[in-house]
Amino acid sequence: MRILFLGDVVGRTGRDGVLAALPVLRERLDPDITVVNGENSAGGFGITMKIADEFFAAGVDVITTGNHVWDQKELVGQIDQQPRLLRPLNYPEGTPGCGFVLLQTRGQRAVLVVNVMCRLFMDALDDPFAGMERVLRAHRLGPGGVSAIIVDVHGEATSEKMIMGHTLDGRASLVVGTHSHVPTADHQILPGGTAYLSDAGMCGDYDSAIGMKKEVAAAKLIRKLPTERLSPAEGPATVCGVYVETDDRTGLALRVEPVRLGGRLSQHLPMRGG
Amino acid sequence: MRILFLGDVVGRTGRDGVLAALPVLRERLDPDITVVNGENSAGGFGITMKIADEFFAAGVDVITTGNHVWDQKELVGQIDQQPRLLRPLNYPEGTPGCGFVLLQTRGQRAVLVVNVMCRLFMDALDDPFAGMERVLRAHRLGPGGVSAIIVDVHGEATSEKMIMGHTLDGRASLVVGTHSHVPTADHQILPGGTAYLSDAGMCGDYDSAIGMKKEVAAAKLIRKLPTERLSPAEGPATVCGVYVETDDRTGLALRVEPVRLGGRLSQHLPMRGG
Amino acid sequence: MRILFLGDVVGRTGRDGVLAALPVLRERLDPDITVVNGENSAGGFGITMKIADEFFAAGVDVITTGNHVWDQKELVGQIDQQPRLLRPLNYPEGTPGCGFVLLQTRGQRAVLVVNVMCRLFMDALDDPFAGMERVLRAHRLGPGGVSAIIVDVHGEATSEKMIMGHTLDGRASLVVGTHSHVPTADHQILPGGTAYLSDAGMCGDYDSAIGMKKEVAAAKLIRKLPTERLSPAEGPATVCGVYVETDDRTGLALRVEPVRLGGRLSQHLPMRGG
Amino acid sequence: MRILFLGDVVGRTGRDGVLAALPVLRERLDPDITVVNGENSAGGFGITMKIADEFFAAGVDVITTGNHVWDQKELVGQIDQQPRLLRPLNYPEGTPGCGFVLLQTRGQRAVLVVNVMCRLFMDALDDPFAGMERVLRAHRLGPGGVSAIIVDVHGEATSEKMIMGHTLDGRASLVVGTHSHVPTADHQILPGGTAYLSDAGMCGDYDSAIGMKKEVAAAKLIRKLPTERLSPAEGPATVCGVYVETDDRTGLALRVEPVRLGGRLSQHLPMRGG
Ligand SMILES: [Fe+2]
Ligand SMILES: [Fe+2]
Ligand SMILES: [Fe+2]
Ligand SMILES: [Fe+2]
Ligand SMILES: [Fe+2]
Ligand SMILES: [Fe+2]
Ligand SMILES: [Fe+2]
Ligand SMILES: [Fe+2]
């Protein structure tokens, strides 16, 4: 199976970048499933159903989120209408929405997409590791189970993300971090066969502070005085993510490569494999 | 000028990796100055004078550190003997050691290396931005000043590192992050001419939790019970860093490329420029 | 019912203070149940079975703990032998020990003691609120249920402790905070009938930094250099805690008063009620 | 000298409480100087010049603040007009306002009031200890210097506040904490003669979450969903603070007692000394 995952989309430039890149990426990579983290797509803060629908219309299969999921408050009452728009798994019981979704791709293959959030330097949620165990008890990768499992680990600390990668190694097709808004270059197939990348990076303007206007962010951090509200930088986005090919029988990864398209960062566009 | 910077060296495998890679990198890149972050080189925790001397003997010009600088306690009484072994600039006044050093390279060119530490999700140090202003008031880049300025920004949050990059843009040759132990792929030349990379990545075994044995780190994080002491993973290291070429007249960057050599990560070895 | 609760016992001076105060407090208050937080009783770090047995021999019924519970590592393998030595409820599933215990006091009255830990500015544990709901579903206060419920909320942030107090108001006899090592003066009976105090305070030397030697603690915080290991201050302890009288029928509080005995702090010794 | 200090005033009920209590307290204690922490007096968030003027008109001499100082943004442009309205000392250089003020009281006695902020679990400001040293180098307590020095240590961690107390012991008349919104009962005269209290407590409704409506605060913390904006609870306030008598010659404390007046908490109103 061919998997395309794109990191946190930031603001209009991020959305424009993703919508422009998707046809190119589809042409080039022909992914069986496309996942995008949309937690910053609405002006940098959260996501609306309208924006989600634009992504779905453009061919995105699943949207993941993170700590910004409820920044657009009306989503709380709407998220249950759209099972392909995920919120992190480990919010308290009773939270609207769901942390995972099971899809059918071409050829009747089942794919599970999970969204989970770390806790180091972040909000105190339920245990992400215990949460993943519960999900993976119900959905096994490989023969008799699902063809692919994709896990978006939304987190700050590289240590916690790497530990999640190792903990799921052999039981997921791809464990990919989001939230830092910077792509990492540590893509690898872990010893058990799971593709891993500490952070997909954002889809946004990299002449910025994690996608937001750099002057405002700098003033806020350095001077510690009130500033105007942070808003997304407006230069061209680099669309960042990761591309993975898996063995449909085992569900494990055969190949993992970064995707970086447009904007200021060095460009990387994988070739589709055999 | 040609600048080689390598990120946090973790344990014996990291040291072995760096010592083996340096001749290759010198042969290939012929750097005018080589800087290594050594804060985890002694069993993952700090650095000793003996290890520092091994790095210097192997051709390293300056060693930077970070929050682990005092993990080997005897360094407190020794660091003042070695001006090319830096501790972060923004420790309280009266702290032994120094946060910057001015060197002469081949051809009588002056290079300033600075080590500064971020504060988000880290210890409460003095203001890193105010500290950098003081250093840069005394040492200007370009005609009449120094030929190159290299800044190791040791920090957790990508936002704070990016803001440091923009704040120094045009006044430093290279601003490179350390501490996350994962290389980022956002190397770029900022609009003002400063080469920037959010994190150099560690020189260590990437089948690990940020360089430490993954089983122990996972048990500590997940089970929250006492474990054996964390110690470095022992597989082959990927030597990670960044290579920059600057214009000797302006001190600004002409080219920036990642370095990833050995071990599990995708390999990248720059070509020396003109 | 008469309830005596004493806060974090710090080191030898804290233990000596508690062992000397208990006969006085028993004589004066004749408590039906005595609970002590022992997480710092072993040299400031954790507790041993031997120290726990000394407390039990001196008339303590239940010992609670907190984030320091495993500082003496051997306790991990021993805690299951002693159901009256609690660890916080909301450690991950599978953690040795238990977060609550049901006792019989004089006159066959059942008392539940619960130990739960907050998360703000602390380690990322399971949800303390969800954990309390599970315990209180199994054990109801009042007619047909238990005669008293005592909850030790081990936490840093006053907001989180107050919210726990209100959340349990009417369902517990006493919600008392520990961990800050400073007694608060906000003892009150909440609108629903639960006695509340944000922090019981430590049983230790108040000429110190939260019970530890002030010079070492100050050097560590201010100079940010390695110091000798923190150890308990050795001046006379103030034994700090809270005394509550409840209505045996409803289990709710009729009276709440602080206890402060010995050492440097202003003294407060309640009179036993009717 | 007689010193009256009142903790964080929260919202309208806190202001009403303070304005009603001041005549009582003046009648009873006849303070030479009255200091109030006003950082939450404007609807729980910051302070306005109008509210400050109401406090001054009611006999308050100095208003201190804390991390909420800029919640009412217009204060940034106004604070320099009012030297008796302080912001914490250790904001970055160039921040409007000042962290200390020198006043003349009755009988030509000079009093220094300082406002400083801690860093543990708080924003990364400049070093509060280094800042205090600078202030105290310019203003010495006792013969030839000022008659009294009052320090408001706005902080979260009890350890940091206690260390500040010990560090200033003998050099200040009173070191009193604010920010936790809960009064502590550890008032004491430290060995060097400085009166100390870890937290003055808030002037606000204690049937609340640190002064804010408890239902909203609980929902926000427990459910982790967007809620209506936090606003102050509206029940009667307990006015909380501390009363100190000093020796005018040495500037050191002779007596320290808590003040708790009105509302739900146990009442304590000191008697004026000799
Ligand atoms: Fe994001
Ligand atoms: Fe995020
Ligand atoms: Fe490091
Ligand atoms: Fe570090
Ligand atoms: Fe404790
Ligand atoms: Fe504790
Ligand atoms: Fe406050
Ligand atoms: Fe505050």
Whether residue B187 contacts residue A185, with contact meaning beta carbons closer than 8 Å, is answered with: no
Closest Cα in chain C to D202? C186
Q: Which residue of A has its CA nearest to B130?
A: A222
User: What residues have a C-beta under 5 A from ligand 8, the ion?
Assistant: D 66-67, 179
| pLDDT on residue D107 | 85
**What's the pLDDT score for residue A273?**
74
Residues of A contacting chain D (CB within 8 angstroms): 70, 73, 76, 91-92, 94-96, 123, 125, 222-226
Most A CBs within 10 Å: which of C121, C123, C125, C127, as the mutation test of the A interface?
C127
What are the strands, taking DSSP E only, across C81-173? 100-105, 109-117, 148-154
Domains and CATH numbers, chain C: 2-261 (3.60.21.10)
CB B241 within 8 Å of CB B255: no
Which residues lie closer than 8 Å to B94 by C-beta, 6 or more apart? C223
Look at residue D106 in the predicted model and tell me its pLDDT. Answer: 87
Q: Quick one: tokens of A173?
A: 């097709």
One-character DSSP codes across B18-46 = HHHHHHHHHHHH--SEEEEE-TTTTTTS-
Q: Which of D179, D182, D230, D261 should one mutate to test binding to chain C, selecting the residue with the greatest count of C CBs within 10 A?
A: D182
ipTM, two decimals: 0.97
Amino acid B272: pLDDT: 84
**pLDDT above 80 for C60:** yes
Strand partners, D241: D6, D259
- Opening angle at CA C69, ends D188 and D163, nearest 5: 30
pLDDT digits over B171-210, tens only? 999 999 999 999 999 999 999 999 999 999 999 999 999 9
| pLDDT tens column, C3-28 | 999 999 999 999 999 999 999 999 99
Tokens standing for residue A251: 């569900």
Neighbours of A229 (CB within 10 A): 12
**Residue A212, helix vs strand vs coil:** strand
Q: Which residue has the tokens 């907001």?
A: C159
Instruction: Return the pLDDT at C272.
Output: 84
Q: Tell me the average pLDDT across D65-91.
A: 98
| Chain C residues in contact with chain A using a Cβ-Cβ cutoff of 8 Å | 92-93, 119-120, 124-127, 130
Question: What's residue B106's pLDDT?
Answer: 87
Give every CB contact of residue D19 below 8 A, 6+ residues apart in sequence: D54, D58
Contacts of A169 (CB under 8 A, 6+ apart): A175, A190, A191, A192, A193, A194, A196
Q: What is the rounded average pLDDT for all residues in chain D?
A: 97
> Can you read off the two tokens belonging to residue D273?
């000394």
**pLDDT < 50 regions, chain A:** none
**Contacting residues of C for A124, CB less than 8 Å apart:** 119-120, 124-125, 127
Which positions of A are annotated as active-site residues? 68
Q: Select the residue of C73, C94, C226 nearest B76 (Cβ to Cβ).
A: C226
Helices (H), chain D: 11-29, 49-57, 75-78, 128-138, 158-168, 214-223
Is there a contact between B223 and C92 if contact means CB atoms under 8 Å apart?
yes
Angle in degrees, CA C92, C97, C103, rounded to 5: 125
Interface with chain C: mutation pick from B225, B227, B228, B229, highest number of C CBs within 10 Å: B225
C228 pLDDT band, cuts 50/70/90, is: very high
Residue B109 has what pLDDT? 94
Section D48-55 average pLDDT: 98
Residues in C whose CB is inside 8 Å of some CB of D read 121, 127, 129, 156-160, 162-163, 166-167, 180-188, 190-191, 198-199, 201, 206-210, 214, 217-218, 221-222, 258, 260, 264-266, 268
pLDDT tens-digit readout, B28-50: 999 999 999 999 999 999 999 99
Distance from CA of D122 to the nearest CA of B (A): 9
- Is 70 exceeded by the pLDDT of residue B274? no
Average pLDDT of chain B to the nearest whole number? 97
Model pLDDT for residues C204-225, shown as the tens digit of each residue: 999 999 999 999 999 999 999 9
Percent of chain C topping pLDDT 90:
97
pLDDT at A274: 59
Rounded to the nearest integer, the mean pLDDT of chain C is 97
Provide the b/e sequence for B46-62 (b: ≥16 CB within 10 Å). Answer: bbbeebbebbbebebbb
Closest to D256 measured CA to CA, from D266, D235, D242, D267: D242
Q: Give the closest of D73, D223, D225 to A226, CB-based.
A: D73
Chains that touch B (3 or more CB pairs under 8 A): A, C, D
* pLDDT of res. C274: 59
Residue C271, token pair as written in the block: 């009179």
Give the pLDDT confidence score for residue C106 in this predicted structure.
Answer: 87
Q: Catalytic one among B68, B179, B181, B187? A: B68
Both tokens of D257, joined, read 């007692």
User: Amino acid identity of C71?
Assistant: D
Report the C-alpha gap between C158 and C155 in whole angstroms. Answer: 8
Of A251, A240, A119, residue with least CA distance to A176: A240
C163 touches D221 (CB < 8 A):
yes
Tokens of A249: 């029988």
